[in-house]
Structure 1
Amino acid sequence: MEKGHQATYEEVQKIHPLYFNIVKKRYWWFALSLLVIVPGIISLLMHGLNLGIDFKGGTMIEANFTKAVTQSAITDTMKSVGLSGEVQLSNGNKSVLIRTEALQQEKQTQLMTALQKKVANYDKKTLQVDEVGPSMGQELTRNAFWSLLIAMGLMIAYISFRFQFVFAISGIIALLHDVLVVVGLFSLFRWQIDSTFVAAILTIFGYSINDTVVIFDRIRENETRMRRGDSYEDMVDKSVWQTMRRSVNTVVTVLIALFSVFILGGESTRVFSLAMLIGVFSGAYSSIFNASQILVEIKTHMKKPTKGGKAVRA
């Protein structure tokens, strides 16, 4: 019923075997969101984020081995000398880029000696060791912050122009929900973040609003067909269920792809794919259960003029 015939609310209810009134239970959805967000905010205030070397500085080591190596072999060797970090392979798995904490010369020598003994010989002439300062991370954070602000401003302008200002506010609150969920969970579980985490947050921002706009578009379409005495809550509930199949199919497809990347992509994509997995799931949840419900809350406290000129509660 997503195209063509304009289904009645009763018809939409009958079509979906798992139907339940989403809008009337909106306070449950808000409570569930707070149950996830509040502990994350508390963790952020108390502990902050577990920053990787992209943000707090460290050592980058580039080495070329004489034969192909594996990520697990490199990381296991690093653990044997008390180190952890990110490992990226290239050039047929013969070139390795290691990002780890700031190392003194003695520790660098210990690591490279262990790699040569336990993994493979490397070309000492092409070995490159660089120190990364925290200023790079500070600039990255600052640029990400301004990017989010600009994106929010443009989204508010676009949604206000295409729909109404209240739609824009509802959508932005739902987006902030997704960002807080991802950032909060990373803080709560002390998962280390790197530069790809920033890319994931920006991607989630764009992905989540897309699904929300689809639901908003159906709400706008159904709103123009409302008659005197129709319930705004029922109309929104109907709109959410009319787009439910599309929302679920989209998120399941994306989650399958992201889960594959998370499992098979290796350490270099682990942070990005984990943040995206959480963000996409949260984005689908907020689009279905939060954005339109926030819209209902705002509309409920606003007077909507009817064609007859009388004012009624939305």
Structure 2
Amino acid sequence: MLKIIERTKIWFAISLSIIILGFGFMVYRTSTTGAPLNFGMDFAGGNDIQINIGKAFSKDDVQKIVNKYVSDGTVTKIDGNKGVEIKSGQMTDAQQTQVFNDVKKKYNLKTKAPTSTERISGSVGKELEKKAMYALIVANIFMLLYIGWRFEFKFGAAALISLLHDVLITLAFYSVFNRPVNSPFIAGMLTIIGYSINDTIVVFDRIRENQRKSRRMTNAELANTSITQTMTRSIYTVLTVVIAVTSVHIFVPSIREFTEPLLVGIISGCYSSIFIASPLWVIFKNRSDKKKALRKVAVSK
């Protein structure tokens, strides 16, 4: 039987160290850039240009053209690799025209204007940021209510904290490595929450089963036994998902903004289900049992 609960302080210290590191980078970035994270165009606003090149082209060549005018431009192949989408939060309308003219000259395009251009304002980005936050809060509340009803409140509280852990770990990763935060990131975060809670419920369901079978076990023994019984399943499931998502991340560059937070969150979710949620349940359960014992003593007197 694995001794997971006995090393609770170690697991908590590892997570806390990563979160504090990420928070430190957020404070530093706020002092230098005015924003805790590298908010992408979806949140900060900017230009989105799509150009139909109509033939095979080098993404690196287009990126070099964009880099002449702005430092934050991202280039993505679209339309079966015969079109290009250019996004930038710094690009002005004049620079947008210059980029298009350079691409037009480079590939001898006959078109007189880009396929489409879109300007996203900062106010739209702030509204999107607010709605994204609401979505995360609502998702967590409903999951807490479901687990509280399906199991008991102590399970729900432990699961909710482990979900918050996954969100903070992912944010820490994005802060430390200065990765752009945008709409696909929010979609990835919601997917992470759903995946992580599923893995946590598997462990909690086994704890509940073992509670009925082995009433003489301590809470720590119950958790250790249940984690040991579900560990192999958790590892195999995570490996399968990570391999699939990594393959998509490598071979489908257009959705990397979605798959990147998924990879971080899935690994964090597996860790939190075993090393965060279960130890938290033991802590909450021990406190509850202690209070019940004190009440019995008080009543007997």
Q: Does the alignment reach a TM-score above 0.5? A: yes
Amino acid at match of 1:279: G
Equivalent residue for 2:170, pick from 165, 171, 182: 182
2:53 maps to what in 1?
A: 65
1:92 maps to what in 2?
A: 80
1:38 maps to what in 2?
A: 20
Gaps in structure 2 of 5+ consecutive residues = 30-35
TM-score scaled to structure 1, two decimals?
A: 0.85
Equivalent residue for 1:121, pick from 106, 109, 117: 109
1:224 aligned counterpart, secondary structure: helix
CA-based RMSD of the aligned residues comes to 2.2
Deviation of 1:122 after TM superposition, in Å, equals 5.3
Query: 2: CA distance between counterparts of 1:105 and 1:41?
Result: 35
| Residues 258 and 80 of structure 1, relative CA distance in 2, 3 Å threshold | same
Deviation of 1:298 after TM superposition, in Å, equals 1.1
| Residues 130 and 227 of structure 1, relative CA distance in 2, 3 Å threshold | closer
Contact 1:55–1:194 (Cα < 8 Å) also in 2: yes
Q: Deviations over 1:26-63 (max 9, x none)?
A: 11101111011111122223420001111111111122
Deviation of 1:305 after TM superposition, in Å, equals 9.8
Stretches of 4+ aligned residues off by more than 6 angstroms: none
Query: 1: CA distance between counterparts of 2:97 and 2:131?
Result: 36
Q: Does residue 287 of structure 1 match 2:273?
A: yes
Amino acid at match of 1:204: I
1:260 maps to what in 2?
A: 247
Query: 1: CA distance between counterparts of 2:115 and 2:147?
Result: 52
Contact 1:64–1:95 (Cα < 8 Å) also in 2: yes
Amino acid at match of 1:265: V
| Residues 66 and 227 of structure 1, relative CA distance in 2, 3 Å threshold | closer
| Residues 126 and 59 of structure 1, relative CA distance in 2, 3 Å threshold | closer
Residues matched between the structures, number = 289
Select between 85-94 and 293-302 the one with higher mean Cα deviation: 85-94
Gaps in structure 1 of 5+ consecutive residues = 1-12, 14-19
| Residues 298 and 129 of structure 1, relative CA distance in 2, 3 Å threshold | same
| Residues 71 and 24 of structure 1, relative CA distance in 2, 3 Å threshold | same
Deviation of 1:218 after TM superposition, in Å, equals 0.2
Q: Does residue 249 of structure 1 match 2:231?
A: no
Query: 2: CA distance between counterparts of 1:212 and 1:233?
Result: 17
1:5 maps to what in 2?
A: none
Amino acid at match of 1:226: S
Contact 1:89–1:95 (Cα < 8 Å) also in 2: yes
Deviation of 1:83 after TM superposition, in Å, equals 4.2
| Residues 101 and 303 of structure 1, relative CA distance in 2, 3 Å threshold | closer
Query: 2: CA distance between counterparts of 1:120 and 1:21?
Result: 67
Contact 2:67–2:73 (Cα < 8 Å) also in 1: no
| Residues 296 and 30 of structure 1, relative CA distance in 2, 3 Å threshold | same
2:213 aligned counterpart, secondary structure: coil
Amino acid at match of 2:200: T
Query: 1: CA distance between counterparts of 2:291 and 2:54?
Result: 76
2:4 maps to what in 1?
A: 22
Select between 59-68 and 283-292 the one with higher mean Cα deviation: 59-68
Contact 1:66–1:122 (Cα < 8 Å) also in 2: no
Deviation of 1:289 after TM superposition, in Å, equals 0.7
Select between 116-125 and 190-199 the one with higher mean Cα deviation: 116-125
Deviation of 1:119 after TM superposition, in Å, equals 4.2
Contact 2:70–2:90 (Cα < 8 Å) also in 1: no
1:232 maps to what in 2?
A: 219
2:282 aligned counterpart, secondary structure: helix
Contact 2:52–2:115 (Cα < 8 Å) also in 1: yes
Q: Deviations over 1:129-176 (max 9, x none)?
A: 332101222122111111111111111111111111000000000000
1:196 maps to what in 2?
A: 184
1:277 maps to what in 2?
A: 263
Q: Deviations over 1:219-269 (max 9, x none)?
A: 0000112234x2221111000010111100010011111211222221x32
Equivalent residue for 2:139, pick from 124, 127, 151: 151
Deviation of 1:310 after TM superposition, in Å, equals 6.8
Contact 1:73–1:119 (Cα < 8 Å) also in 2: no
Q: Deviations over 1:188-236 (max 9, x none)?
A: 22112221111111111111000000000000000112234x2221111
Query: 1: CA distance between counterparts of 2:256 and 2:74?
Result: 10
